[in-house]
Amino acid sequence: KAGVTQTPRYLIKTRGQQVTLSCSPISGHRSVSWYQQTPGQGLQFLFEYFSETQRNKGNFPGRFSGRQFSNSRSEMNVSTLELGDSALYLCASSPRPLNAGAEAFFGQGTRLTVV
């Protein structure tokens, strides 16, 4: 059974640009959640999608957005990139919504560097 796949693995962007990251969940999983990981702030929740609907959103500015498609694949978009957006972006999939107490399986992440 394939795991969670995130693409691309590495990305370098310039300040002011926008970026789209992709996450393919484990087959059959309908929940996809996104996280930002930095050395200073640790792992922070961005948002969760379940059956194409955003269920929860963390404390991030509106420049961070996402969506989920009917096949459960999800994309995350960051507009007007800032240097502080440099981070490892992780997505996780689970068979049920996170607040149902479902185990989340993580991908290896996309390392975004903003210069």
Partner 1 sequence: GESVGLHLPTLSVQEGDNSIINCAYSNSASDYFIWYKQESGKGPQFIIDIRSNMDKRQGQRVTVLLNKTVKHLSLQIAATQPGDSAVYFCAENQAGTALIFGKGTTLSVSS
| Piece of the chain touching partner 1 by CB under 8 A; list 11-19, 67-75, 77-85, 92-100 | 92-100
Contacting partner 1 (CB under 8 A), which of 55, 65, 67, 95?
55
Q: Determine the 3-state secondary structure of 70 from DSSP.
A: coil
Asked if 106 touches partner 1 (CB under 8 A), the answer is yes
Contacting partner 1 (CB under 8 A), which of 19, 78, 104, 112?
104
CB 80 within 8 A of CB 97: no
Alpha carbons within 13 angstroms on the beta-carbon side of residue 2 total 9
CB 76 within 8 A of CB 66: yes
Contacting partner 1 (CB under 8 A), which of 17, 20, 38, 108?
108
CB 92 within 8 A of CB 104: yes
Binding mask 9-48 for partner 1 (x = CB under 8 A): ------------------------x-x------xxxx--x
